[in-house]
Structure 1
Amino acid sequence: MILEIADIRIRPGEQAAFDEAITRGLQTVISKNAECKGYKVNKGIESPERYVLQIFWTSVEAHNVGFRESPAFAEWRAIVGPFFASPPVVEHFDLVTKSD
């Protein structure tokens, strides 16, 4: 399993609307993908326009090919994309260690 981290910056003053949109997008689009094994979103305290989205995928290919090349990606971006101040920075990570 791999972890996708997306560093998202939205336009100022749109946090409440984005909170609703990202929650809806995750519940109605992302979680429907069988290769998605969970997700989490955190919002910045010092930088309230900054969000960190974490999605667990079965593989990098499941995200980059299976999801990003599917119609679901366009649906996802239609929900969250209008809030972006700039394109998200997205990277993938392998687990090294974790707590119990």
Structure 2
Amino acid sequence: MVLEVALLQVIPSQETAFEAAFAEAQTIIASMPGYQFHQLQRCLEKPSQYVLLVGWDTLEDHTVGFRGSPQYQAWRALLHHFYDPFPTVEHYALVMGSGCAS
């Protein structure tokens, strides 16, 4: 599994609208081949900062499959106007941990 980690800086005062748009957008990503799970978490100290975690079967399921799909254009239209600056997105592979398969 590959873990996508996106640090999302939402424009202050747009958090409620962003969360409503994300509620709609999450059905898009969840329908993609290679998708495993996602979590959107909001920072307690900085309420306009979020982290999005998405589990994918492979890196290419995200970078080629999702980002190259027509569904990504709908995702982009729903969410990208909330970000300033544009998110940093990185991908991770599990090395070790408790309570998870390696």
Q: Distance in 1 between matches of 2:74 and 2:35?
A: 16
Match of 1:11 in 2: 11
Show structure 2 runs of 5+ residues with no match: none
Runs of 4+ in 1 over 2 A off after TM superposition: none
Counterpart for residue 84 of structure 1: 83
The 8 Å contact of residues 18 and 82 in structure 2, kept in 1 or not, is answered as yes
In structure 1, the residue matched to 2:31 is 32
Matched residues in 1 for 2:77 and 2:85: separation?
Answer: 15
Normalising by the residue count of structure 2, what TM-score does the alignment of the two structures yield? 0.92
User: Which residue of structure 1 lines up, in the alignment, with residue 70 of structure 2?
Assistant: 71
Normalising by structure 1, report the TM-score.
0.94
Gaps of 5+ in 1: none
* SS of residue in 2 equivalent to 1:62: helix
Aligned length: 99
- 2:58 counterpart of 1:59: yes
For residue 58 of structure 1, what is the amino acid of its counterpart? D
Is the 8 Å Cα contact of residues 33 and 61 (structure 2) preserved in structure 1? Answer: no
Query: In the alignment, what sits opposite 1:23?
Result: 23
Letter in 2 for 1:44: C
AA at the equivalent of 2:83: F
Distance of 1:99 and 1:24 partners within structure 2:
32
Give, as a single letter, the amino acid of the residue that structure 1 aligns with 2:74: E
Identity %: 34
RMSD: 0.9
Q: In 2, Cα distance between the equivalents of 1:72 and 1:25?
A: 10
Rounded Cα–Cα distance in structure 2 between residues aligned with 1:99 and 1:20: 33
Q: Is the 8 A contact 2:2 2:92 kept in 1?
A: yes
